[in-house]
């Protein structure tokens, strides 16, 4: 008879996600993961598989959570305000550990995507989801008059997606709030 599981799988996955998010895949050791999750090696392997499988699960959890946050923010209020709020989330916690981690998808776009097709596909899927969501809200704003740009909604969304990693990197490297606000204002001026 198998022993009952004595840990919260979702919590262990979250703790592993934080380690991968902070250190990246390559720099994260099994010791880091065991320490963060509080699991024994046999429990970690038995529940999640190896390091790679745990990383994929943690990365997918991150991506799903961020997607839900994005859809929630972009789905409410006037389009211009929703888009601005979405981008302000990128640097809402300046100076904290969370802001120092940056975006896990962007981190993996740099660390693993160049040599790992499975991770590359996930990162590209994230950017496509962001572009699709922004296209939808831009078109909504053009219809209701809250956005006055006559440019194609998909093109504007692609411009915003292009700026997304840049704003993340600016925030992560220590740009101040005023500089980030100025960059965001310039970016959003393309919607007017």
Domain boundaries in the chain?
7-58, 75-191
pLDDT for the residue 91: 76
Q: Which CATH architecture has domain 75-191?
A: Orthogonal Bundle (1.10)
Report residue 86's pLDDT band, with 50, 70 and 90 as the boundaries. Answer: very high
Q: 6 versus 41: which is more confidently predicted?
A: 41
Cα–chain center distance at 186: 22
Could you read off the pLDDT of 159-185 as tens digits, one per residue? Answer: 999 999 998 888 888 888 899 899 999
CB 21 within 8 A of CB 65: no
Q: Are 188 and 87 in contact (CB under 8 A)?
A: yes
pTM equals 0.87
Question: What phi, psi does 99 have (nearest 5°)?
Answer: -70, -30
Pick the CATH number of 7-58 from 3.40.190.80, 3.40.50.300, 3.40.50.2020, 1.10.10.60: 1.10.10.60
Yes or no: say if 192 and 149 are a contact pair by the CB < 8 Å rule.
Answer: yes
For residue 2, pLDDT beyond 80: no
């Amino acid at each position: 008879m198998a022993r009952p599981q004595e840990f919260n799988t979702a919590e262990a996955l979250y703790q592993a996600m934080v380690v991968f998010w902070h250190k990246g895949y390559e720099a994260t050791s099994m010791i880091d993961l065991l320490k963060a999750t509080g699991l024994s090696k046999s429990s970690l392997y038995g529940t999640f598989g190896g390091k790679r499988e745990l990383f994929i699960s943690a990365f997918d959890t991150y991506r799903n959570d961020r997607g839900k946050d994005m859809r929630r923010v972009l789905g409410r209020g006037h389009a211009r305000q929703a888009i601005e709020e979405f981008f302000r989330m990128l640097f809402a916690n300046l100076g904290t550990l969370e802001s120092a981690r940056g975006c896990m998808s962007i981190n993996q776009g740099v660390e693993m995507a160049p040599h790992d097709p499975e991770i590359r596909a996930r990162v590209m899927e994230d950017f496509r989801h962001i572009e699709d969501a922004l296209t939808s809200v831009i078109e909504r704003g053009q219809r209701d008059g809250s956005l006055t740009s006559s440019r194609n909604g998909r093109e504007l969304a692609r411009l915003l997606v292009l700026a997304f990693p840049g704003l993340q990197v600016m925030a992560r490297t220590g740009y101040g709030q005023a500089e980030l606000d100025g960059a965001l204002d310039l970016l959003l001026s393309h919607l007017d």
